[in-house]
Amino acid sequence: MGRNEIKLRDKRLTPDLVKRYRNYSALLKKVERDKRYRQTLRIFIISIIVTIIVLLLIVVSYTLVEWEREKEINKGKKETSYAAFNLTSCIKTSAGNCNR
């Protein structure tokens, strides 16, 4: 609620004077340009989102494949070491009788 600046003027805007600024075709062009810009921006944003989703899917699937592969390798290793352990224990006892 501050003080306002108030001016008293004698000049009145005549329709002829205002007519200089009235241009509907220019306004329509501006609106069309803005519509195109917004559409392009929307497509750009959607394509970025799609790209991010695809990249995420690739990363996730790659990680899953790697994880599965590591699991397989670990499983294989475990089986090998278990077999080796059994074999070793058998050899050790074979000094006497191979008794499992």
Rounded to 5 degrees, φ, ψ at 10 are -95, -20
Selected range binding another protein among 22-30, 47-55, 60-68, 83-91, rule: CB under 8 A:
22-30
CA distance 71 to 50: 31
Selected range binding another protein among 28-36, 52-60, 68-76, 81-89, rule: CB under 8 A:
28-36
Show the binding pattern over residues 29-48: x = contacts another protein (CB under 8 A), - = does not.
Answer: -xx--x--------------
Rounded to 5 degrees, φ, ψ at 28 are -60, -40
13 interacts with another protein by CB under 8 A: yes
Helix (H) or strand (E) holding 75: helix 24-93
DSSP state of 1: -
Of 11 and 100, nearer to another protein (C-beta) is: 11
Task: Catalog residues that contact another protein under the rule CB under 8 A.
Answer: 1-13, 15, 18, 21-22, 24, 27-28, 30-31, 34
